[in-house]
Amino acid sequence: MKQISQSAQFVKQFKTEVIPFMKQLYSQFKKNKKSKVTAAAVLFSIALCFVWIQLSGAEVYRLNIEGKEAGYVTDQSLVQAAVDNVIADYKEKGMELTIDENTLLCSPTDLKKKDVNPLDLDALEKLVVASDAFKAKGFAINVDGRTLAAVATEQSANQILEDIKNHYLTDGSEIVSVSFKEDVAVTQSAVRIAEFKSAEEAEALLLAGENAPVVYTVQDGDTLWDIASANHVSTEELQAANPGFDPNKLKIGQQLNLVAIKPYITVLTKERITAAEQIDFDTVYEETNTLNKGEIKVKTAGVYGSQLVTSEVTKENGTAIETKVLEATVTAEPQAQVALKGTKAGTYLASRGGGREVTVSGSGSDIVAYAKSFLGTPYVHGGSSPKGFDCSGFTQYVYSHFGGSLPRTTTGQYGTGTYVEKSQLKPGDLVFFSSSSRISHVGIYVGGGSFIHSPQSGESVKVSSFSTTTLKYCGAVRASNQ
């Protein structure tokens, strides 16, 4: 600590007040030698008195840190003790501190000890650490020119960045490339000690990201639950972000405030992943007049094939944004399922799609609402999680939320539940589409002639209309207890 403390202020006051006064007084006595001696003696006495008053008169000192009043001390040596303790503490951590003494200033006051609540040693140490008084050589992690974290060594900073990259890699994959989308750099600089973080703290901060304001415009058919689920917030959080908002009076075009997580760093990865996948079997239909029209009965169960698929997957922070199949090696050929399709005229009797019952705990509207919470999730070949879905992976995941156990493939799902005519569709029904002679796509009926599905590579989960889709509709099934 620099002693403007009392001594610096004393010197300043002595120069600006005492010396001019002494010169003026001396000039009045300089006419004779005796007067000069008397004047010198008087002036020396004045100086001694001033020094004694300045050094012994103050009981309380005002502490200023960075030009701002921080509190009072009754013993200046306590401030120096706090400084010494901080230096020693960081030296044990391998950090040599530099101090700007001008940021810590102690000056005498006319106050008495009984008039103040003085700072103790612990409080002084905390104030010193939080100030700009101390800096140390550190290494800052900068993202697009913005310093987000600082650590003690360059090795630690670089290891943090490597750990963040590894956080988003798939175990066992072949790494093609890993990079940051932003301009990320490690730079050496003098860092305030209050800004230093441990490696664990710095990594957690960079992975957590920050809240960023988002404005959502209400669309036709939106509900409060739809908006909250699609943006991964609760309805309570949505209402809190919009004071005075009446959730029962949503209007098309109305703008709502949302809060989304904005990553500090975006990790771009490209990996080659080899995984075993099922091959759907085709379903071949044989017409029979032994079954009523609309009834389907499995004659010979199909057998799934298998293949090893090598794909090149591009991800942003672990979420696939593009998948390219590089190679597929069939390890077992699928065997077609043979199903009997009724042609007998008469009263329609709904039958199981393939003889296997599927039961769900929610209503059709519940299923649709949950499915809509994944709008915008990217299509990923073989995907069956919120990180990415293919068509049957999406329907399987949604139904499993309500206790419904569906087969993994599209054709397998078509062979379950109760067959439903198109004219009798209800929200929550599974709707199927074909290419050529085989079932190739599945979605969930949402009502109004539309369905929600995960379409194909390069697209995301969305709602489409029967009237505009190029897919060929071929049937629907319904789970029980909807």
Residues labelled catalytic: 391, 441, 453
Token code pair at residue 3: 């002693």
Query: In angstroms, how far is the first alpha carbon of the chain from the final one?
Result: 76
Query: Which has the closest alpha carbon to 399: 366, 424, 375, 367?
Result: 367
**CA–CA separation, 136 vs 134, rounded Å?**
7
**CA–CA separation, 262 vs 240, rounded Å?**
20
Beta bridge partners of 441: 433
Query: CB-based contacts of 397: which residues, under 8 Å, 6+ apart?
Result: 384, 385, 386, 389
DSSP 42-88: HHHHHHHHHHHHHHHS-S-EEEEETTEEEEEES-HHHHHHHHHHHHH
Nearest-5° Cα angle at 65, 61 to 68: 90
Q: What is the rounded radius of gyration, in angstroms, for the C-alpha atoms of the chain?
A: 39
Cα-flanking dihedrals φ and ψ of residue 300, to 5°?
-135, 120
Cα-flanking dihedrals φ and ψ of residue 81, to 5°?
-65, -40
DSSP 166-197: HHTSPTTPEEEEEEESS-EEEEEEEEEGGGB-
CA atoms within 13 A on the CB side of 145: 0
Report whether 29 contacts 36 (CB < 8 A): yes
**CA–CA separation, 295 vs 107, rounded Å?**
96
CA 282 to chain CA mean position, Å: 43
Token code pair at residue 195: 């800004």
Q: Are strands 418-420 and 61-65 parallel, antiparallel or unpaired?
A: unpaired
**CA–CA separation, 197 vs 191, rounded Å?**
11
Query: What DSSP character marks residue 229?
Result: H
Report whether 103 contacts 131 (CB < 8 A): yes
Per DSSP, which regions of 317-427 are E strands?
A: 319-332, 337-344, 384-385, 388-389, 418-420
**CA–CA separation, 232 vs 373, rounded Å?**
8
